[in-house]
Structure 1
Amino acid sequence: MYLELHIGFRARNYDAYSQRPDVDLRKQYLYVGIGLNLSKLLRPYADTPVFNYLQMPYTYVPFTKKISGPP
């Protein structure tokens, strides 16, 4: 399969909240994407496992949804 499904979660500004709880800038995001499996595409030319751990820019289409935090 040359396409792969990406699912993830990202949180920001939690460290700043512990220092100043009166200013709440914490944000949470849910991430879903579809990307190209470069390991499989490039296997005939170079058999390297690096693309199992590294997602090259512009090889995926992300869909990000903010699930909590200020606007």
Structure 2
Amino acid sequence: MRPALEEVQRLDAYLHETLNEEQRMEVEIRLLWDRDWQWKLAAQKLAYQALRLAGRRQLRRELDGMHTRLFG
């Protein structure tokens, strides 16, 4: 697997708290000294926030459409 993809997967697992204790500590130690990883983690958090917001907006549009169809 490509190293960049492995990093994304490791940070994803860290954010979703699915790492075991040793893996979590490895990530946290690397985050302490690797500014690039700090930026990648921040970018991944922002991406997840954007996806959640987009999903909420889409759901709101769908619910509004349903309401309009049901209640005019």
Give the TM-score of the pair, scaled to structure 1: 0.22
Specify the structure having the higher radius of gyration (Cα): 2
Per chain length, whose mean CA-contact separation is higher, i.e. which structure has more relative contact order (CA < 8 Å, sep 6+)? 1
Give the TM-score of the pair, scaled to structure 2. 0.22
